[in-house]
Amino acid sequence: MGMNCVKCGTELPQTGAYCPTCGAPRREFEHLARQTERAVSQVLASGGEALGRAAKEFQPTFDRAVEALRPAVEVLERATDDVLLAVRPAVEATARVAKEFTDKTVAAVRPAVTRAREKTGHAVHTIRERVWKR
């Protein structure tokens, strides 16, 4: 990645002692770039260390919170199991009644649909014969 002139913003060529646009000396930019790199490295290092210390300090509090919530989670798990056991028979009965209703509806409608299909087929056949005769 190239370096830009801090005075005019022009990208500096890899070689050359001065900015081709404003004439500012390249050495000054290289010095500023090295200082910036060092400052960023120090900030990153100290920030990482601070985060590590904060995580270590926070861990016991986090562990206590997890232990405090564990009984509530266990109660919820048991309650969920109880609800599932209580609801299952009703769900199974509903599914059984829905299937019976569907089967009866199909059985009642099937003869009418069969007659309609036969009449439609007969009508189509009649129309085709009339069209072909023309």
What confidence tens digit (pLDDT) does each residue in 25-67 have?
A: 777 767 677 778 888 888 788 888 888 888 888 888 888 888 8
pLDDT value for 83:
92
Q: The pTM is what?
A: 0.36
Q: What number is the average pLDDT over the span 114-122?
A: 88
- Which amino acid type is present at position 24? A
pLDDT value for 29:
62
Q: What number is the average pLDDT over the span 111-118?
A: 90
Q: Do residues 5 and 21 lie in contact, with contact meaning Cβ atoms separated by under 8 Å?
A: yes
Q: Is the pLDDT of residue 1 over 60?
A: no
Report, in angstroms and rounded to the nearest whole number, the Rg of the chain calculated over CA atoms: 41
| Block residue for tokens 């910036």 | 36
Share of the chain above pLDDT 90, in %: 30
CA dihedral sign, ordered 117, 118, 119, 121: positive
Three-class SS state of 37? helix
**E strand or H helix at 46, and its extent?**
helix 26-133
pLDDT value for 2:
67
